[in-house]
């Protein structure tokens, strides 16, 4: 291959140890993959039931090829299932928007045009219906790649980017269309190489079976900037990455670290991580499998960097599956190319010493420490293996409950422009769809359904109970059947909705029993609040929660250590205490103008964190039972929770509003005013504390006047 210095063996072993310390190991990678695949499956099941869309997680997070220091974005692809991309008229389907993939002398390699076909017969559509289409000949109408849009995001290549805040990652969402058949340009790849080695025949069968996507972006060298669509083989690429061993993954991560440290400075992206991935895949395909061992890590890395250097010299980095698509085409000027070659040359000639300069995850310092190169200096301080583990695990473990909440919100959001009776039928239909998926699905789909269904059951039960209470006929057994099905959705939210129904029925004894049992389950040390109402708000994660859930399966962690926020929609209004109903009317006309439709839809609901609602409901219940000592204890606990759990509460303003109303009931007017004022400091707009302050001020004035 090329000469390898003698010290590479020991350096490779120490480098492998360092990567293990920062979380690049089989255990952590499998946790990342399981977590992301479960989230992908949940979103696809929910999206397909409500929106006729499928969701896929791609990129570094789904592959487990990232670290805390690299801080990769969250990459996902959403495919509209009402659009059918075909390569042959035999694939046409009635009732769908059929698009014929066209490749000719005017399209770049790896790209295509999409011709609109009729949805009643498999023939070309000849009329231009809107600004997203263009007629290029008498019988050819093409779809522009500008047809897609995501609110509150900006376009970067084919992706719509939404910026995160705090520990919440930036997210890249690609809106694409699926083609069930394997692209013609990539058919040669299916027969390339020895399928008994790598990629295996099994991987290639999977790729061929799952087809491809078309994503809305044109080639840099194309002549049709608004008409070309890139052919994406993301599913096949993810399958390839899942087949790699730990040394191959570590090699890829090191390449990305080198790019961030030495190549792509000041936000540049001349060489992409996808180019590194492509180079890695070619190197694996063209070498013996037994080369990729821990003691050869530096040798493998050098081999990949040499291949990248050669690609740069040729200005040609062919796509691994569609080689005609040159990933470097039109991206590098002569000046930039020369600078990049110089940088890569310096790195290659350093014989591994360039690794010492990598600050990401303190890799360079850690490596020098392993090699006893810093023994005469003070010991450097960097995150311990355990601390890195905690950071990694927090992202993984919290992803599932957050997605459960978000999928539940989507189901509710798409149902609520109907009467309660109609919403009841819609939710029943969703549950039927979920049941069908569970019966016919694989293990992952069954797990996804098992964690999604309880929240919907709980909501359905409360809607039925609200209808029953409205008619003054008592609450039906059907409502309670659904409510009890939702009790184990998490530690508390399902139980609290059941308790709310009993409270609004006037059955304080059974309300108190449920609240007492919920209090027993809610351990404030290792239970983590979770909410899907915000997409960019990040809250503190309890260390005890991470320690406990790290060793649990995902479903157990959700049910035993996660507390969802408690949601009530207008269709459930008869099952909500009066004090919480105010939250449904939080927005003035001016506030409504400040709201984002795609994110703030929940503001028309009553939503509260579980722990403050638990003690608020206990305060009200013990008051009705005339157990005044217990009532005061509940009030004290409510105040304590708001103070001590402040960093983990998502709807803190609502908790303060409930506490303020309790203070009014206690005739502690100044304390009530303080609660509402504190609530407004948390959220100035779209906060019903404004109404409470006006109401309470009027009450004070009237008292003075009397």
Task: Evaluate whether 542 touches 528 at the Cβ level (below 8 Å).
Answer: yes
pLDDT over threshold 60, residue 156:
no
Domain identity same for 370 and 410: no
Per-residue confidence (pLDDT) for residue 381, from 0 to 100: 67
DSSP bridge pairs for 116: 99
Domain identity same for 221 and 303: no
Domain identity same for 470 and 579: yes
Least confident of 94-98, 398-402, 460-464: 398-402
Per-residue confidence (pLDDT) for residue 541, from 0 to 100: 80
Domain identity same for 274 and 376: yes
pLDDT over threshold 80, residue 523:
yes
Domain end call among 237, 265, 296 = 237
Q: Domain for residue 681, yes or no? A: yes
Per the rule left: phi > 0, alpha: psi between -120 and 50, beta: everything else, 601 is alpha
Note the pLDDT tens digit of each residue in 31-70: 888 888 999 999 999 988 888 899 999 989 889 999 988 8
In the structure, what pLDDT confidence band is assigned to residue 165 with cuts at 50, 70 and 90? very low
Domain identity same for 410 and 524: yes
Domain end call among 359, 383, 407 = 383
Task: Evaluate whether 662 touches 616 at the Cβ level (below 8 Å).
Answer: yes
Q: Domain for residue 42, yes or no? A: no
pLDDT over threshold 70, residue 149:
no
Secondary structure (DSSP) of 599-621: T-GGGGSEEE-HHHHHHHHHHHH
Domain identity same for 416 and 514: yes
Please give the residue that has the higher pLDDT: either 196 or 30.
Answer: 30
Beta strands 74-80; 171-179: pairing state? parallel
Contacts of 304 (CB under 8 A, 6+ apart): 251, 255, 276, 279, 280, 283
Domain identity same for 326 and 408: no
Please give the residue that has the higher pLDDT: either 146 or 244.
Answer: 244
Per-residue confidence (pLDDT) for residue 313, from 0 to 100: 96
SS3 label, residue 258: helix
Contacts of 702 (CB under 8 A, 6+ apart): none
Domain end call among 185, 218, 237 = 237
Beta strands 111-116; 97-102: pairing state? antiparallel
Per-residue confidence (pLDDT) for residue 1, from 0 to 100: 47
Least confident of 188-197, 295-304, 339-348: 188-197
The stretch 340-352 carries a mean pLDDT of: 94
Q: Domain for residue 693, yes or no? A: yes
Sign of the torsion angle spanned by Cα atoms 681, 683, 686, 691: negative
- The structural domain count of the chain equals 3
CATH of the domain at 346: 1.10.1410.40
pLDDT over threshold 80, residue 378:
no
The stretch 382-404 carries a mean pLDDT of: 73
Per-residue confidence (pLDDT) for residue 195, from 0 to 100: 67
Residue 162 CA to residue 158 CA, distance in Å, equals 13
**Domain span at 329:** 1-24+244-383
Phi, psi of 21 (to 5 degrees): -60, -35
- Mean of the per-residue pLDDT values of the chain: 89
Q: Domain for residue 637, yes or no? A: yes
Note the pLDDT tens digit of each residue in 634-688: 999 999 999 998 888 999 999 999 999 999 999 999 999 999 999 999 999 999 9
Q: Domain for residue 343, yes or no? A: yes
Per-residue confidence (pLDDT) for residue 206, from 0 to 100: 96
Q: Domain for residue 639, yes or no? A: yes
Per-residue confidence (pLDDT) for residue 168, from 0 to 100: 44
Distance, C-alpha 339 to centroid of its chain: 37
Residue 570 CA to residue 191 CA, distance in Å, equals 58
Burial class (CB in 10 A: 0-12, 13-18, 19+), 531: buried
Domain identity same for 378 and 392: no
Domain identity same for 276 and 227: no
Per-residue confidence (pLDDT) for residue 166, from 0 to 100: 41
pTM assigned to the model: 0.86
Compute CA distances 390 → 366, 383, 398, 475, 541, whole Å: 19, 10, 12, 45, 10
The stretch 394-409 carries a mean pLDDT of: 81
pLDDT over threshold 70, residue 2:
no
The residue ranges of DSSP E strands in 222-370, in sequence order, are 229-232
Per-residue confidence (pLDDT) for residue 687, from 0 to 100: 95
Note the pLDDT tens digit of each residue in 569-627: 999 999 999 999 999 999 998 999 888 877 888 999 999 999 999 999 999 999 999 99
Q: Domain for residue 35, yes or no? A: no
Note the pLDDT tens digit of each residue in 21-37: 998 999 889 888 888 89
Least confident of 262-266, 278-282, 378-382, 474-478: 378-382
Q: Domain for residue 278, yes or no? A: yes
Domain identity same for 371 and 417: no
pLDDT over threshold 80, residue 430:
yes
Least confident of 268-272, 278-282, 500-504, 656-660: 268-272
Assign 3-class secondary structure to 480-500: HHHHHHCHHHCCCHHHHHHHH
Domain identity same for 396 and 305: no
Domain identity same for 136 and 251: no
């Amino acid at each position: 291959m090329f000469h390898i210095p003698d010290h590479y063996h020991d350096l490779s072993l120490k480098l492998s140890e360092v990567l293990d310390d920062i979380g690049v190991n089989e255990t952590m990678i499998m946790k990342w993959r399981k977590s992301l695949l479960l989230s992908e499956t949940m979103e696809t099941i929910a999206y397909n039931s409500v929106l006729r869309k499928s969701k896929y997680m791609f990129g570094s997070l789904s592959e487990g090829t990232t670290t805390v220091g690299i801080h990769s974005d969250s990459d996902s692809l959403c495919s509209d299932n009402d659009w059918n991309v075909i390569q042959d008229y035999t694939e046409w389907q009635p009732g769908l928007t059929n698009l014929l993939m066209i490749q000719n002398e005017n399209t770049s390699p790896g790209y295509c045009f999409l011709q609109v076909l009729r949805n009643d017969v498999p023939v070309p559509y000849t009329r231009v219906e809107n600004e997203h289409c263009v007629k290029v000949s008498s019988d050819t109408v093409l779809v522009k790649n500008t047809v897609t849009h995501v609110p509150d995001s900006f376009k970067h290549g084919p992706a719509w980017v939404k910026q995160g805040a705090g520990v919440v990652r930036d997210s890249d969402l690609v809106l694409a269309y699926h083609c069930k058949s394997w692209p013609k340009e990539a058919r040669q790849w299916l027969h390339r190489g020895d399928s008994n080695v790598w990629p295996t025949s099994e991987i290639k069968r999977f790729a061929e079976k799952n087809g491809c996507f078309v994503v809305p972006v044109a080639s840099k060298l194309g002549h049709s900037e608004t008409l070309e669509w890139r052919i994406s083989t993301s599913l096949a690429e993810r399958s390839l990455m899942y087949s790699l061993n730990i040394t191959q993954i570590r090699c890829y991560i090191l390449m990305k670290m080198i790019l961030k440290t030495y190549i792509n400075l000041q936000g540049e992206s001349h060489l992409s991580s996808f180019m590194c991935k492509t180079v890695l895949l070619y190197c694996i395909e063209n070498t013996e499998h037994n080369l990729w061992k821990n003691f050869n890590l530096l040798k493998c890395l050098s081999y990949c960097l040499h291949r990248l250097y050669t690609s740069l010299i040729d200005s040609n980095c062919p796509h691994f599956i569609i080689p005609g698509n040159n990933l470097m085409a039109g991206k590098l000027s002569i000046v930039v190319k020369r600078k990049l070659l110089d940088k890569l040359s310096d790195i290659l000639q350093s014989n591994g010493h360039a690794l010492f300069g990598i600050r990401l995850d303190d890799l360079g310092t850690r490596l020098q420490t392993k090699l006893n190169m810093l023994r005469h200096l003070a010991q450097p301080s960097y995150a311990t293996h355990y601390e890195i583990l905690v950071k990694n695990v927090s992202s993984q473990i919290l992803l599932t409950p957050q997605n459960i909440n978000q999928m539940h919100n989507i189901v509710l959001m798409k149902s609520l422009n109907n009467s309660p009776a109609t919403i009841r039928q819609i939710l029943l239909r969703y549950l039927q769809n979920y049941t069908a998926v569970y019966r016919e699905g694989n293990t992952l789909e069954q797990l996804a359904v098992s964690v999604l269904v309880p929240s919907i059951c709980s909501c359905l039960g409360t809607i039925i109970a609200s209808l029953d209470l409205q008619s003054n006929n008592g609450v039906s057994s059907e409502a309670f059947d659904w409510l009890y099905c939702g009790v184990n959705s998490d530690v508390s939210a399902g139980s609290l909705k059941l308790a709310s129904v009993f409270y609004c029925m006037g059955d304080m004894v059974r309300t108190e029993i449920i609240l007492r049992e919920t209090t027993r389950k809610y351990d404030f040390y290792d239970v983590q609040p979770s909410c899907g109402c915000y997409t960019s708000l990040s809250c503190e994660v309890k260390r005890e929660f991470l320690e406990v859930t790290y060793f649990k399966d995902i479903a157990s962690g959700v049910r035993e250590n996660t507390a969802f926020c408690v949601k009530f929609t207008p269709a459930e209004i008869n099952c909500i205490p009066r004090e919480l109903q105010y939250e449904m009317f939080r927005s003035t006309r001016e506030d409504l103008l400040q709201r984002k439709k795609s994110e703030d839809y929940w503001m028309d609901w009553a939503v509260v964190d579980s722990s403050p609602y638990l003690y608020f409901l206990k305060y009200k219940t013990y008051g009705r039972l005339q157990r005044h000592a217990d009532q005061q204890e509940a009030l004290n606990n409510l105040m304590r929770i708001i103070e001590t759990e402040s960093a983990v509460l998502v709807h803190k303003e609502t908790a303060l509003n409930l506490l303020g109303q309790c203070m009014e009931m206690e005739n502690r007017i100044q304390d009530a005013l303080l609660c509402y004022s504190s609530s407004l400091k948390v959220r100035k707009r779209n906060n019903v504390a404004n109404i409470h302050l006006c109401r309470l001020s009027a009450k004070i004035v009237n008292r003075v006047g009397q």
